[in-house]
Amino acid sequence: MSTPETSRFVRLRVELVLEVDDADAVTTAALRRIADDSTVPVDERVHAESAVTEDTAEALAYLVDPFDLVSEVPGVELVQASWSSERIEYDPDSPDWDLDEDDGEEDFDGEGAVRVG
């Protein structure tokens, strides 16, 4: 499927819901990663330490790196990535959280990309 009209770029969307059982462990790991990263300037380091200490979601965002998800996939190069985290109310029995509702169906996402559920 390599025609001149076919783009080589693929947008991969991943949504994760994580349950944090030990916020202190998450915060400690994020602080350790910040301390180990010698490329972070001092003023950014202070800001990052403050953010991960105050909010577990920020600590998770600092620990989860999209590059890690695809770095060992052969034949691809991560061109651009963005990610964020937020605290949410989660009810696994709610139909709003049914991630399998579109399995096997294709539709357009409004941006011209085909979504395969």
Taking the CA atoms of 20, 25, 31 and 32 in sequence, report the sign of the dihedral they define.
negative
What amino acid is encoded at 96 in this protein? D
What amino acid is encoded at 27 in this protein? T
Reading the chain (117 residues) residue by residue, the pLDDT tens digits are 555 678 889 998 888 889 999 999 999 999 999 999 999 999 999 999 999 999 999 999 989 988 888 999 999 999 999 888 888 888 888 887 776 655 444 454 444 444 433
Query: Does the global pTM surpass 0.75?
Result: no
